[in-house]
Copies of this chain bind each other. A is one copy, B any other.
Amino acid sequence: MVTRKEVAELAGVSEATVSRVFNGVGPMKAETKRKVLEAAQRLNYHPNAIAQSFARRRSGHLGVVLPYLPKVHLFSAYYFSEILSGIGEKVRERGYDLLVLLRSPEEPADYVQLFRTRKVDACIILGARDHSGQKEALRKLKEEGHPFCVVNQHFAGEGFNEVDADHVQGSYEAAKYLLSKGYRRIAFMNGSPEYSNSRDRLLGFRRAMEEAGLEVPDRMLLEGNYSRKSGYEAAERIWQQRDEVEAVFAANDRMAIGIMQRLREYGWTAGKEIAVAGYDDSDAAKLSDPPLTSVYVPFYEMGRLAAERVLDQAISGAEAEPFREKLPTRLVIRKSSERTF
């Protein structure tokens, strides 16, 4: 391995000068710089990144913690993919590297470890739940003052850094739209209330219904686990209540598509006998037939923003005020919610 020392010798300067050239620090004679760079090139010298991290006491890594479930092919989830892409862009821009950390929800969460071992300078937690010591682990992170951020999740009263989307508004608008099309009896299929975004969606939905002076009977509220399958299964209940269901709003696109598939097997087509709307505006919404009306969530932007804010904190080192960003969502209307009957 070629080290700075050899470059210094060949260039006839001190090691410190070589460092200065490579870090662009301090004033230096152009001639000296030239000599050093030439020597470095001749020897094929490249600074050892680990040694740099060691000396700088910074890893240069932004950590992203993802829940890891052996059977589930996690990255497949549109949601994580988009957020990760957004983080990736910002990280690139800042010259950081992206350290992806897969953590099983089973094992006790210990995010603090990541910082104590200096593996990361900052980190973003995805898919955290109000659950199994995860909130505890986040509290500890905060106590110790590490720069971290939670995305698409809100922990009430904790003051964590958060980048969220306005899911209350998103659901509100989706429901409003369905109401505006004349539907009154609207079923809502949500995900687990363990996620704040599920709870937010229910709020938005209820608000819209209330404003329209409508009741939300329990039998019109379904719960799934955000999988296509759970939607497919829930559609059976919808079918049983078909006399009083005019529209279905699902908390993500996959469940919505599962619902449409099952209903079609019964002979009902979305946009004809029933209106269906989903959430996320994922690729699947465009691929489905009919294309799915859905609520766009700026996951990519959320990732970018989270990375930006958290890297700023890492660099400034200051005890910054916790931030809570909440990005707007937007309804995208497609055929699944048309009224052709």
Chain A interface residues toward B at CB < 8 A: 44, 46-51, 53-54, 57, 59, 61, 68, 70, 73-76, 78, 80-82, 84-85, 88-89, 91-92, 97-102, 113, 116-119, 228, 254, 257, 260-261, 264, 283-284, 286-289, 300
Contacts and interface: CB of A to CB of B under 8 A. Distances in A.
A76 B319 CA distance: 35
A48 B92 contact: no
Contacts of A89: 68, 70, 102
A254 B102 CA distance: 28
A55 to B, nearest CB: 9
17 contacts: A44-B116, A46-B113, A50-B50, A54-B54, A73-B300, A75-B75, A75-B84, A75-B88, A76-B78, A81-B81, A88-B102, A89-B102, A97-B99, A98-B102, A228-B286, A261-B289, A283-B284
Nearest to A58: B50
Closest 9 CB pairs of A and B: A75-B81, A289-B289, A49-B117, A46-B116, A98-B100, A54-B54, A73-B85, A75-B85, A50-B118
A102 B70 CA distance: 25
A117 B47 CA distance: 6
A46 B117 contact: yes
A228 B88 contact: no
Contacts of A288: 287-289
Most chain B beta-carbon neighbours within 10 Å: one of A82, A91, A117, A287: A287
Given A47-B117, A76-B78, 12 more contacts: A46-B116, A48-B117, A73-B82, A73-B85, A75-B84, A76-B81, A76-B283, A98-B100, A283-B284, A284-B284, A284-B287, A287-B287
Contacts of A254: 287
A251 to B, nearest CB: 16
Q: Which of A59, A100, A101 has the most CB of B within 10 A?
A: A100
A257 B117 contact: no
Contacts of A283: 76, 228, 284
Contacts of A97: 99-101, 119
Contacts of A44: 116
Contacts of A50: 50, 53-54, 57, 59, 118-119
A237 B70 CA distance: 43
Nearest to A48: B118
A90 to B, nearest CB: 11
B289 A264 contact: yes
A257 B81 contact: no
Contact of A74 (B80, B85, B113): B85
Contacts of A101: 97-98
Most B C-beta atoms less than 10 A away, residue of A76, A78, A97: A76
